[in-house]
Amino acid sequence: LAKTTQPISMDSYEGQEVNITCSHNNIATNDYITWYQQFPSQGPRFIIQGYKTKVTNEVASLFIPADRKSSTLSLPRVSLSDTAVYYCLVGLSMIKAAGNKLTFGGGTRVLVKP
Amino acid sequence: NAGVTQTPKFQVLKTGQSMTLQCAQDMNHNSMYWYRQDPGMGLRLIYYSASEGTTDKGEVPNGYNVSRLNKREFSLRLESAAPSQTSVYFCASSEIWGSGGGTEAFFGQGTRLTVV
């Protein structure tokens, strides 16, 4: 499984854009990049997933450069309720038979201030 | 549609006691997982089950056993609880989605276990 490195914590203010970069230098050809969000006392929640270039949904955007050795989660105009831990995961197999072992790193603790 | 349901939500055990954490999903997923999360830390994989009838060790399997009872249910058992097993335990399930692969996992609300 590809090892990921992301900042331990980030502070921001309401209305700002938050960008969290995750490094995954040994990403494999078939690996997807997935981000999860975890609020205190809750289980993680899927935010976004991508393979290459850019993916956008109603919550976030995910930017993946051509070499795929890093990715950036972008949260536009954050609010206080976006305060959470954000996890970057890499290494989800496309092959169903291999199973989909999900391994989390330490995540990035984002604090949004008023 | 309940998603992933864990029971109990809270539990206090004495050292040496045993208990089973229950997890059930109603999304017809093949893969299920058990994680533990210590205060201020990320999630660590204890065991997983890629499909019904199979289980495998994760990062921290010592002191735990699992049973994939059927496609819906995946239980985690502590045979002799120790204070080091005080943690929040999360169950999750996943399935391949989309034509290109990739996986979205769904998590339960967690079981807060304290071993005294």
- Which residue is closest to A31 within chain B, CA to CA? B102
**Averaged pLDDT, groups of 10, chain B, 116 residues long:** 90 97 94 90 88 89 96 96 97 70 82 97
CB atoms B106 and A92 under 8 Å:
no
Distance CA B35, CA B64 (A): 11
Q: Both tokens of residue B69?
A: 């009872």
Please report the beta strands in chain B, taking only residues with DSSP state E, as ranges in sequence order.
Answer: 4-7, 10-13, 19-25, 31-37, 43-49, 56-57, 64-68, 74-78, 87-96, 103-107, 111-115
| pLDDT tens sequence across A11-62 | 999 999 999 999 988 888 878 888 999 998 899 999 998 888 899 999 999 9
The answer to whether B8 and B72 have CB atoms below 8 angstroms apart is no
Q: Does A36 touch chain B (CB under 8 A)?
A: yes
